[in-house]
């Protein structure tokens, strides 16, 4: 997008956006005003303030608005209070600690099986063979996608994350594919919602979906959760292992810790800080406001660069180094009323995947690593590694 102070479509930016963030921070400080009048936030303290401030939101108070999923409903992810509050509460019931705990054993079993299968040839693509199938299975289980619909679900889920990008960054042909994937996913979720054996989130929400608007809202919400949750976990696992392979001293330290749950959990937090799977959170000024003294008129867009905030040197010493003994209060999952509902689940998946991968002492396979085309989400597209036998 031309209004940004760097070319988000360049190969150099895709490989390493953080040096571009740092250049803007050095010249403009933690808040940068763009020629359009919109504002870019790169500082941690300033980003935290925007994410918590009710003056900044999505500009929608109603759930009744046609979405790209072909149904007249707007999900809680894109609304503001009061509508956002009760919509989020309905979904939150499926993300309780008890529900995540119930999924934990299945997640570990699935991760173990995927890693074992991937390791048979000695070299494996961790993204394609572990991260994507693990995330797809967990999201499908959580939402309650029936087995006979899961193949189409998995094929469509990978496209949805592109729809989180501004339209100007997406080629017309890709936009058409995203639109078809959205409508197809919504159709399948609608079919599952009408089945008496509905499970997961669909089971939780089914008894409220007794009229057309409520059904449309449930369909749109579940579809948006796929877009928000699927690629986030894929990115966390892929980006995280890639970061460890680039820092062999930290990888060796983590591998030596074995299966220590607390050590793995702490490592996941630093991996989230270092290369978060979601780089950008968009907010709109609902009233005339300001960010750290920079005026933001009503209607202006605030681009909160989570990746930049997570490397703010005022908060994180040596921010461009991966240091697994940090206890970072990162912003990878956002803050405030829109804090990611699936954060605990993503952490559980990443911890399980890393535990089984580290047991096989992963090593770089010598192939180049590339990132996917999305910009809001940052995800390693392919990560070939060598995996050994379990000691």
CA atoms within 13 A on the CB side of 250: 22
pLDDT tens for each residue of 123-135: 999 999 999 999 9
Is the pLDDT at 82 greater than 70? The verdict is no
Q: How high is the pLDDT of residue 308?
A: 97
Q: Any alpha helices (H) in 93-131, and if so which ranges? A: 97-119, 126
User: Out of 55-59, 226-230, 250-254, which region has the weakest mean confidence (pLDDT)?
Assistant: 226-230
Is the pLDDT at 380 greater than 70? The verdict is yes
Phi, psi angle pair for 170, to nearest 5°: -120, 130
* CATH superfamily, region 11-386: Cytochrome P450 (1.10.630.10)
Say if CB 44 and CB 315 are below 8 A apart. Answer: yes
Q: How high is the pLDDT of residue 47?
A: 97
Is the pLDDT at 95 greater than 50? The verdict is yes
Dist. CA 137–CA 113, nearest whole Å? 13
Q: How high is the pLDDT of residue 214?
A: 65
DSSP-derived pairing of the beta strands 384-386 and 123-125: antiparallel
Q: Provide the 8-state DSSP code for 361.
A: -
Phi, psi angle pair for 138, to nearest 5°: -65, -45
Interval 311-318 mean pLDDT: 96
Q: How high is the pLDDT of residue 200?
A: 74
SS3 string, 181-214, reads: HHHHHHHHHHHHHCCCCCCHHHHHHHCCCCCHHH
Closest of 118, 120, 137 to residue 128, by C-alpha:
118
User: Out of 36-40, 121-125, 157-161, which region has the weakest mean confidence (pLDDT)?
Assistant: 157-161
Q: How high is the pLDDT of residue 158?
A: 72
Is the pLDDT at 209 greater than 80? The verdict is no
Q: How high is the pLDDT of residue 62?
A: 44
Q: How high is the pLDDT of residue 196?
A: 72
Bigger pLDDT: 233 or 100? Answer: 233
User: Out of 60-74, 166-180, 284-298, which region has the weakest mean confidence (pLDDT)?
Assistant: 60-74
User: What's the pLDDT band for 246 if we cut at 50, 70, 90?
Assistant: very high
pLDDT tens for each residue of 2-29: 578 888 888 899 899 999 999 999 999 9
Beta bridge partner(s), residue 283: 302
Determine if the pTM surpasses 0.85: yes
User: What's the pLDDT band for 351 if we cut at 50, 70, 90?
Assistant: very high
Q: How high is the pLDDT of residue 142?
A: 82
pLDDT tens for each residue of 180-204: 888 888 788 778 777 776 677 777 7
If you count them, how many residues does the chain have? 391
Task: Give the residue extent of every domain in the chain.
Answer: 11-386
Bigger pLDDT: 181 or 322? Answer: 322
Cα 184 to Cα 14, 179, 215, 232, 373: the distances in Å are: 30, 9, 16, 21, 22
Structure token digits, residue 272? 């989230």
Bigger pLDDT: 352 or 257? Answer: 352
Q: How high is the pLDDT of residue 361?
A: 94
**Angle between the 150-160 and 172-193 helix axes, to the nearest 10 degrees?**
140
Structure token digits, residue 295? 């005026």
Q: How high is the pLDDT of residue 102?
A: 75
Is the pLDDT at 61 greater than 60? The verdict is no
Q: How high is the pLDDT of residue 275?
A: 97
Interval 51-68 mean pLDDT: 68
């Amino acid at each position: 997008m031309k209004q940004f102070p760097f070319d988000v479509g360049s190969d150099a930016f895709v490989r390493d956006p953080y040096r571009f963030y740092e250049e803007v921070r050095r010249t403009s400080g933690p808040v940068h005003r763009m020629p359009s009048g919109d504002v870019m936030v790169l500082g941690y303290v300033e980003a935290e303030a925007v994410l918590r401030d009710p003056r900044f939101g999505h500009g929608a108070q109603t759930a009744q608005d046609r979405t790209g999923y072909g149904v007249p409903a707007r999900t809680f992810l894109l609304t503001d209070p009061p509508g956002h509050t009760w919509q989020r509460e309905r979904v939150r019931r499926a993300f309780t600690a008890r529900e995540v705990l119930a999924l934990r054993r299945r997640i570990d079993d699935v991760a173990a099986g995927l890693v074992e299968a991937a390791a048979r040839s000695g070299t494996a693509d961790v993204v394609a063979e572990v991260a994507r199938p693990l995330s797809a299975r967990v999201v499908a289980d959580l939402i309650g996608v029936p087995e006979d619909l899961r193949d189409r679900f998995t094929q469509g889920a990978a496209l949805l994350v592109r729809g989180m990008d501004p339209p100007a960054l997406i080629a017309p042909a890709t936009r058409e594919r995203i639109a078809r994937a959205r409508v197809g996913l919504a159709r399948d979720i609608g079919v599952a919602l009408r089945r008496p054996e509905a499970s997961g989130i669909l089971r939780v929400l089914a008894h409220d979906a007794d009229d057309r608007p409520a059904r449309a809202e449930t369909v749109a919400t579940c579809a948006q959760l796929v877009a928000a949750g699927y690629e986030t976990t894929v990115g966390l696992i892929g980006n995280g292992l890639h970061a460890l392979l680039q820092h062999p001293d930290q990888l060796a330290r983590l591998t030596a810790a074995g299966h220590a749950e607390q050590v793995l959990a702490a490592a996941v937090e630093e991996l989230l800080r270092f290369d978060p799977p979601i780089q950008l959170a968009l907010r709109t000024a609902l009233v005339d406001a300001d960010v750290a003294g920079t005026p933001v008129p009503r209607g202006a867009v605030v681009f909160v660069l989570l990746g930049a905030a997570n490397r703010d040197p005022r908060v994180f010493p040596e921010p461009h180094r991966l240091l697994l003994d940090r206890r970072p209060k990162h912003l990878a999952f956002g803050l405030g009323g829109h804090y990611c509902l699936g954060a605990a689940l993503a952490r559980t998946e990443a911890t399980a995947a890393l535990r089984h991968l580290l047991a096989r002492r992963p090593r770089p396979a010598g192939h180049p690593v590339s990132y996917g085309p999305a910009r809001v989400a940052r995800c390693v597209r392919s990560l070939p590694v060598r995996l050994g036998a379990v000691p």
